[in-house]
Structures are given as structure tokens and as C-alpha cells.
Amino acid sequence: MGNYYQPEIETASYDEIRKIQNEKIVKQIRHVYDNVAYYRKLMDEKNVKPEDIRSVDDIQKLPFLSKADLREAYPYGLLGTDLKNCVRIQSTSGTTGKRVVAFYTQGDVDIWEECCARAIVAAGGSEEDVCQVSYGYGLFTGGPGLNGGSHKVGCLTLPMSSGNTDRQIQFLMDLGATILCCTPSYAAFIGESLAEKGYKPEDNKLKAGIFGAEPWTEEMRRSIEKSLGIKAYDIYGLTEISGPGVSFECEAQTGMHINEDHFYAEIINPETGEVLPEGEEGELVFTSLDKEAFPLMRYRTRDLCVLKREKCACGRTHVKMCKPKGRSDDMLIIRGVNVFPSQIETVLLNEGYTPNYQIVVDRENNTDTLDIYVEMQPDQFSDVISELQERERALAAAMRTMLGIGPKMHLVAPKSVTRSEGKAVRVIDNRKLHD
Ligand code: DLL
């Protein structure tokens, strides 16, 4: 049995959780119908009234919301309360289109921070800890969310934000940080930078890392754990639904517990919208249960995922989601084959390469091309061309086995792939330029 931030809720029985959810959804749907004209219209079109939603089992009657709806309703169209009740906005980075702006009342912020506090305690955090928050601060939810959670737990919080890696390392070492919160790609960079400065993993006081905001593989987890000498925990979330802490890993590390008393999760077939039974892979959909400013009903995350409800060794009862495989729109279709960047990462790390890589997709003579650039470790470096070619061939063969198509591999010199301080940009798809 582990430590919990809110044990009565985190270990509540299934029936108790259902009761909480059922009570909350009735109020939440009434709140949305009365206050959000955009969603009221969608409900009216489907001929669903708030009275039809008596429990979470009735959620299936409700229409979905998608990112396109959020864009259409931008900026205030999905607001569930008067602006005067809102105290904060956060926003997505807008790399895939118009930014999404999410609003928070003080009550919404408190719940969000509690969710992050649960994640920190699940990773072994307490008031004894020094928690270095190296997610970006500002519009991105990573910094503010974990910062708030760290305060609630009572850790000494180092609000570093991302970037300035020399300063990160100085504070980490001088102030004896015990928990590091940042993206996995930045954690890998910090680990690499510590080694370059001559520190061994046992020289720092870190015990745990809380890493998320981008897809990362089990191989990447092991690589970071080794370089920092820590246990690495996954954390998931998205701006639309609040930010980090929608779900988090416990010490059992067999999936991330969804904070089900605040967010109701479904898995659907992304093509048909049909709800899939637990255990099947599909698109993750969330319904907020108690949000005031930005309540979202059946929001389609585009993250591909599996849910499982099982007894967890940590004692928590909330349903678990697997590591999302990536967004459905991160999936590359190359010569008709579905390729996930995470599959490529798995092969590279299993074959002993660094997590510093870039994937370039293009089209030549109407055929898709896949080029993968990966850095060698200094000891893999060779100036004998035939040796490098042999390595590239071996790696391309391992990729073919995993992906079903053969990429062109390029082994490049150490330090030639740009390091990430936030979400790593792994894929450059030049085909979009030609379309
Ligand atoms: O990334 C919130 C966050 C901050 C989560 C810090 C965890 C830690 P967005 O920028 O809106 O919000 O991006 C959300 O990132 O739909 C997933 O596709 C992806 N994502 C988030 N966490 C994970 C994770 C933040 N642990 C989008 N594993 C989500 C894989 C993740 N993908």
C-alpha cells in the first residue's frame, strides 16, 4: 500500500466512484445546458435534454466535441460561467492550428492542482521533498499544474520552467532536488548534460521524475532512469481537460490512474464513434464532471489508448489507461503502412542508440520516403565508412521487422540532432508541403 493525497477518494470502491460520478454528471450537464449555448444547440439537434442524463451510463446519448468545435467556438463560445468568475487561462501551443484557450475558476484551479498533488504523492512525494518543476511556465499547463500540485503537497518547489540547462543543473545539484518534473525528452537532455559535466547518477539527490506531455516508450523510461538514477513516472493530461494530472502513474507502473471523480473516460472507435468495451484500443474521450469555467462533454482527445480496470498493487481503485500510443494524427501513413514514431524509438534504444533522433518523411516520384537520422554515442563513432554502412543496414533491417517497411537510416555525429527543452519535435513530414 502506498501513500495517497486523498485516500478516501483514490481508494474508494467502484460503487462509491460510480455514485460520485452519477451525482456529478447530473449537475454538470444541467450546468452546461443552461450556460453553454454552443453545446445546448448540439444537444437540441440530437434531441437530448439534461433530464435524459441520469447517470454516467447515459453519457453515450450526448454528442461529441472535437478540436474543430473548440476552434469554432474560440475564444468564449464554450465558456460555462461569467468571465468575472474566471481567474486564469491556459492555452495549447497551437502547432496544429488555432490555439485552444481553456478557462479556469478558482475552484477549477484547486481541483487541477489536487490532481497534480495526487500524482506527486504517487511518485513518493511529500513535504520532505524538493520538487524541481522544469516544464514550461506560462500558457503551457505543465509548469503551472505541477507547481500548484507541489505546493499542495508541501514540497519545496523550484519553479525553474524549461530551458537554461546549465542553471537547471546548478539548482538541481546545489539545492538537492529530489523530484524532477519535465518532458521525458528534456529529462534525457538533463541526464546527458549532467554526465558531460562529470556527474554520475548517484551524485544527485533525485529519487523520482514525473514525466509526460509527449509520447515516450518503456525503452526511453529505462534510459532516463539509468542516466539520472531515479524511478521515472508517467503523467498524462491535456489543456482542454485541465492540464497534467488527468491521469498519473503509481509505483506499480502498470498504467496511469485516471482521476475518475473529476473526469469520465470512454474509448471509442475513431471511425464510427461507437463505444468500445474495456480492454479494446481506440480513441480516448473525456467528459468533465465538475468543471465550472470550461466544462467539456465527450471531448475527443485523438489519443489512442486502452482502459483497464483491475486491482492495483498500490491500492488505488481508479481505472487505468495505458501509455497513449500517440495521437491518431501523429500516426504516419507511409506507403500505405501505419507507422508510430514510438515504434521507431523502441528499435533505436533497443539497438543501443541514443534517444536523439529525427524522422523525415517526404515524397519522391509519387512514392513516400522515410529517412531516420540518429546520433551515435561517442563510442559508436567510426571513420571507417564501410563500418557505418554496415550499422545502418543492420538498423534498417531491425526497423523493417518492427514497421513492415524499410527506412533509410542515417547515423550522424554526436550532438548533431537538436535537443528538446519541452515537447520534442521528432517528425518532419515534408509531404504536407507538396499537398
Ligand atoms: O501536454 C499537458 C501535460 C503537461 C501533460 C505536463 C503531462 C505533463 P497539451 O499541450 O494540451 O497538454 O498536450 C496534450 O499531449 O493529448 C497527448 O497527445 C500528449 N500527452 C500528454 N501527456 C502524455 C503522456 C499537455 N504522458 C497532448 N504520454 C495529449 C503520451 C502525452 N502523450
Q: What is the residue-level pLDDT of the chain in tens, covering all 435 positions?
A: 469 999 999 999 999 999 999 999 999 999 999 999 999 999 999 999 999 999 999 999 999 999 999 999 999 999 999 999 999 999 987 666 678 999 999 999 999 999 999 999 999 999 999 999 999 999 999 999 999 999 999 999 999 999 999 999 999 999 999 999 999 999 999 999 999 999 999 999 999 999 999 999 999 999 999 999 999 999 999 999 999 999 999 999 999 999 999 999 999 999 999 999 999 999 999 999 999 999 999 999 999 999 999 999 999 999 999 999 777 667 899 999 999 999 999 999 999 999 999 999 999 999 999 999 999 988 888 888 899 999 999 999 999 999 999 999 999 999 999 999 999 999 999 997 665
C-alpha grid cell, residue 277: 468495451
User: How far, in Å, is the centroid of ligand 1 from the Cα of 358?
Assistant: 20
User: How far, in Å, is the centroid of ligand 1 from the Cα of 35?
Assistant: 28
Same domain as 66, residue 21 = yes
Evaluate: CB of 303 within 6 angstroms of ligand 1: yes
User: How far, in Å, is the centroid of ligand 1 from the Cα of 237?
Assistant: 5
The alpha helices in 11-141, defined as continuous H runs, are 14-35, 37-45, 67-72, 106-122
Phi, psi of 82 (to 5 degrees): -65, 145
Do the beta carbons of residue 177 and residue 130 sit within 8 Å? Answer: yes
Give the CB-side neighbour count of residue 289, counting CA atoms within 13 A. 22
Q: For residue 128, which amino acid is it? A: E
Which one of 275, 299, 329 terminates a domain? 329
User: How far, in Å, is the centroid of ligand 1 from the Cα of 255?
Assistant: 15
Taking the CA of residue 423 as reference, the ligand 1 atom at the shortest distance is 1
Same domain as 410, residue 308 = no
- The pLDDT assigned to 434 comes to 60
Same domain as 409, residue 280 = no
User: How far, in Å, is the centroid of ligand 1 from the Cα of 144?
Assistant: 14
Give the CB-side neighbour count of residue 35, counting CA atoms within 13 A. 19
Same domain as 283, residue 256 = yes
User: How far, in Å, is the centroid of ligand 1 from the Cα of 15?
Assistant: 29
Looking only at the bridges linking them, the beta strands covering 243-249 and 231-238 are antiparallel
Residue with CA closest to ligand 1 atom 12 = 238
Which one of 272, 296, 329 terminates a domain? 329
Answer whether the bond into residue 270 is a cis peptide, omega within 30°.
no
Give the relative orientation of helices 14-35 and 37-45 as an angle to the nearest 10 degrees.
Answer: 100
Task: Residue 159: count other Cβ atoms within 10 Å of its Cβ.
Answer: 15
Residue with CA closest to ligand 1 atom 1 = 213
Task: Residue 29: count other Cβ atoms within 10 Å of its Cβ.
Answer: 26
Which residues on neighbouring strands pair with residue 183, listed in sequence order?
Answer: none
What DSSP designation does 275 have? B
C-alpha grid cell, residue 392: 545502418
Evaluate: CB of 243 within 6 angstroms of ligand 1: yes
- The pLDDT assigned to 92 comes to 87
Residue with CA closest to ligand 1 atom 14 = 238
Q: For residue 100, which amino acid is it? A: V
- Domain CATH for 158: 3.40.50.12780
Distance CA 302, CA 310 (A): 24
User: How far, in Å, is the centroid of ligand 1 from the Cα of 238?
Assistant: 5
Phi, psi of 190 (to 5 degrees): -65, -40
User: How far, in Å, is the centroid of ligand 1 from the Cα of 243?
Assistant: 8
Evaluate: CB of 235 within 6 angstroms of ligand 1: yes
Evaluate: CB of 301 within 6 angstroms of ligand 1: yes
Taking the CA of residue 235 as reference, the ligand 1 atom at the shortest distance is 26
User: How far, in Å, is the centroid of ligand 1 from the Cα of 254?
Assistant: 18
Dihedral sign from CA coordinates of 343, 347, 352, 353: negative
C-alpha grid cell, residue 202: 548517484
- The pLDDT assigned to 2 comes to 62
Looking only at the bridges linking them, the beta strands covering 243-249 and 256-258 are antiparallel
The alpha helices in 280-430, defined as continuous H runs, are 341-350, 385-403
- The pLDDT assigned to 381 comes to 80
Distance CA 92, CA 209 (A): 23
Distance CA 217, CA 66 (A): 27
Element (H, E) at 218: helix 218-228
Triad 9, 131, 89: Cα angle to 5°: 70
Same domain as 420, residue 282 = no
Residue with CA closest to ligand 1 atom 6 = 142
Residue with CA closest to ligand 1 atom 21 = 213
Same domain as 362, residue 306 = no
Dihedral sign from CA coordinates of 305, 309, 315, 317: positive
Dihedral sign from CA coordinates of 317, 318, 319, 325: negative
Torsion of CA 117, 118, 119, 123, to 10 degrees: 100
Distance CA 29, CA 33 (A): 6
For residue 353, give its domain range. Answer: 333-429
Residue 278, domain member (yes or no): yes
Q: Which of 229, 184, 227 is nearest to 206 (CA)?
A: 229
Which one of 305, 329, 353 terminates a domain? 329
Q: Cα 131 to the chain's mean position, in Å?
A: 19
Looking only at the bridges linking them, the beta strands covering 357-364 and 367-375 are antiparallel
Q: For residue 62, which amino acid is it? A: L
The structural domain count of the chain equals 2
Same domain as 306, residue 373 = no
Pocket test for ligand 1, best of 303, 306, 325, 340 (most atoms within 8 A of CB): 303
Evaluate: CB of 142 within 6 angstroms of ligand 1: yes
Same domain as 355, residue 270 = no
Do the beta carbons of residue 146 and residue 99 sit within 8 Å? Answer: no
- Domain CATH for 363: 3.30.300.30
Same domain as 258, residue 143 = yes
Evaluate: CB of 245 within 6 angstroms of ligand 1: no
Q: For residue 27, which amino acid is it? A: K
Do the beta carbons of residue 206 and residue 230 sit within 8 Å? Answer: yes
